[in-house]
Structure 1
Amino acid sequence: MPRHPAPRPAVRHRDTLAETPSETTTRLRPIAASAPAPAEPAPRTVAPPRSAMPPPRPAPDDAWTPAPRSGSPDPTLSWSGPMTPGGAFGPRRPAGSPGRPEGYDEQARPRLLGQRNRSQIVAAAVCLVLGAGLIGGAVTGSWLAGDSGETGAPSGFTAAKSLWHSVPVDQLFPPTVQGKGAGPGDADRLWTRIAVAPDSGCEDAFDPLLRKLFAPLGCERLLRATYTDATQSHVTTVGLLFTEADAAGTAALADRVAKERLDRRTDLVPLPYPAKGTAAADFGAGQRASWAISVLTDAPVVVYAVSGWADGRAVETPQPAQDAMESGATSAPAQAGLGHEARGLADRVERGLRKNVGTTTEQPS
């Protein structure tokens, strides 16, 4: 009869497994049933402010503290980390300065904000150089021209002193002068020069009282010319008195004439220049009908004009041009338009003088 293998002994308890010689691996040791399972660490919370934080409680001796797992953050670097003695938080993250903010250029390339590219720096440098060159050129040009840079008046004032011998007479006293709207009712006027007096001093050129008024200014030169109107019924002498005064002196006289109305006093009327063989041959002191006087402040010059009839009729009381030009004036000089003759011709000669002053002060480019 065949022999049957003996049955294996039954296992009495699973916790007392016996190793047989046929097993080739070693079984792991069983885990003790009495060992407590490790508890999960409590979730971290944000620590309250120091003033509200209760004092730490002493941990019991048998409390279990899990060891930090590898790769996990250091609890001491967290806001909920333990406090060091003295009430301060434990070790913190190392301090560091924030990096400079970045921007993007026109090609979407990152760049640091606050930095300029090369083209911007070059453009700024070029603008700076050009601006400095323009300012320096202006200052140098002003210095070479003898101008202080404050105003153009002193330069023009000085240049006007020599106009009497540097400007042709036809520019100071043109052969014909157009007076658009210069007559009564804005009528046009045309004056023709009939005589030019030789340049001279001021002796016997003014009445004694008027000469006394001009004396503080000094007399450098006196230029005069006599004109007649288109009908040759009126004659007018216009004069340019070049003085030796400075700007302050002429300004002072101009202010006095305006305040005291000296240009309207009948004892301060300029003398005419009669020329033999012309329509003004009989134009003497007794024929003065109206006059105008202007003391310039931007040039050492006094401009004046005196008008009368060409037929030599006498005038008992001359009338200032400003009064004779008023609407409703009924005097003989006013009715004849002699106030317009004197004022209109004086204004045109004054404009020509100012034009020549501007031309002489221009510097070559």
Structure 2
Amino acid sequence: MVVALVVGCCYLTTTVISFTGAWATLNREPTNAELQRAANKEVARRWQAWPARRIFPDRVPYAPLEGHSEYASRTGIVPDTGCDQGVDPEIAATLARHGCKAVLRATYVDQLEGVAVTVGVVAFADPFRADRAYRELPGSKGPDGSGSVRPALRAAPFPGTASARFTDEARQDRTVDRGGPYVVLTTSGHTDGRPAAAIKKARPGKPFALSPQVGHAIARALSAKRIPDCSRPEWQC
């Protein structure tokens, strides 16, 4: 009986210690490393969790000239998010090799509605895969008289808008940017739909200067981390 009582007391003590440790673990403040992991996961889910209009705002500021600011206006958002449908096959192979989850696309026009730019957000599982894909993708390319820019993000025209004539044949410029687990591609051209092959020489100035600016603004907003604030109701710590 004495042995049984001793064993019972030992089990009771062990149980109390276990419950105390579990309670302390569940009620302690999260560590900085845990907060960072939670922030990274929240960023990686934004392509699914955020409304499309938050990823692609109605208007995005850009600066065509130094000291002068204008706004690019969104003409539409593509409902299809397939990795193969959003880009040329050469780029699709690179994206698939690194685990592309989706390609989100929307089209903007500059303030004068003379230039259209399609922006593509490519989602990956983490920043490391995004960076590897980014390094393998073709870089920026401007109008050089060699015909349509390829391979590139596919243009997304929207009937009844200023971008209605912006097709793949009208692509004259491409850029690539990265933010966190996202690679942001752009392709741009004139809204009148003139084929890039018809451009025999480079135009003066920078007619597609808004493209990298719009792409960068979207990449920056989408990848900006928010550290969880356990005192606020929207966070569960």
Q: Secondary structure at the match of 1:307?
A: strand
List per-residue Cα deviations over 1:264-297 (Å, max 9, x = no partner).
365332111111111111111111111211233x
Find the counterpart in structure 2 of residue 101 from structure 1: none
Cα deviation 1:170-220 (Å, max 9, x = unaligned): 2211111222xx214453221111111114211322111111121122232
With over 3 angstroms needed to count, the CA separation of the structure-2 counterparts of 1:178 and 1:295, relative to structure 1, is: closer
| % identical equivalent positions | 23
Which consecutive unaligned segments of at least 5 residues does structure 1 have? Answer: 1-135, 319-329
2:187 aligns with 306
Would the alpha carbon gap of residues 312 and 175 (structure 1) be closer, same or farther in structure 2, given more than 3 Å must change?
A: same
TM-score (normalizing by structure 1): 0.49
Aligned partner of 2:29 among 126, 133, 141: 141
The change in CA–CA distance for 1:345 and 1:214 in structure 2 (over 3 A counts) is same
Identify which of structures 1 and 2 has the higher relative contact order when contacts are C-alpha pairs closer than 8 Å and 6+ apart: 2
- State the one-letter code of the partner of 2:155: P
Aligned twin of 2:61: 178
Greater C-alpha radius of gyration? 1
2:156 to 269, 273, 281: 273
Query: 1:249 and 2:134 equivalent?
Result: no
What amino acid sits opposite 2:29 in the alignment?
G
Q: Deviations over 1:119-177 (max 9, x none)?
A: xxxxxxxxxxxxxxxxx99xx4234xxx536x93x443322222123112222111112
Letter in 2 for 1:337: P
RMSD, aligned CA: 2.9
Gaps of 5+ in 2: 1-23, 142-148, 232-237
- Supply the AA of the counterpart residue of 1:148: A
CA distance in 2, matches of 1:294, 1:178: 17
- Aligned equivalents of 1:225 and 1:346: distance in 2? 11
Give 1:141's aligned amino acid. E
Q: Is the 8 A contact 1:177 1:191 kept in 2?
A: yes
Q: Name the SS for the 2:108 alignment partner.
A: strand
CA contact (8 A) 1:207 1:271 kept: yes
Match of 1:215 in 2: 96
Whichever structure has more helix as a proportion of its residues is: 2
Aligned positions, number:
199
Residues 155 and 167, structure 2, Cα contact 8 Å, conserved in 1:
yes
Q: In the TM superposition, what are the counterparts of 1:203-352 in structure 2 within 5 Å?
A: 203-243=84-124, 245-254=125-134, 256-257=135-136, 262-264=138-140, 266-296=149-179, 298=180, 300-316=181-197, 331-332=202-203, 335-338=205-208, 340-352=209-221
Letter in 2 for 1:335: G
1:187 counterpart = 2:56: no
Report the Cα offset of residue 301 of structure 1: 1.2
- Output the CA distance in 2 between the equivalents of 1:228 and 1:248: 32
Task: Name the SS for the 2:76 alignment partner.
Answer: strand
| TM-score, normalization by structure 2 | 0.72
1:332-353 deviation line (CA, Å, top 9, x unaligned) = 2x63521x12111111111221
- 2:164 aligned partner, one-letter code: A
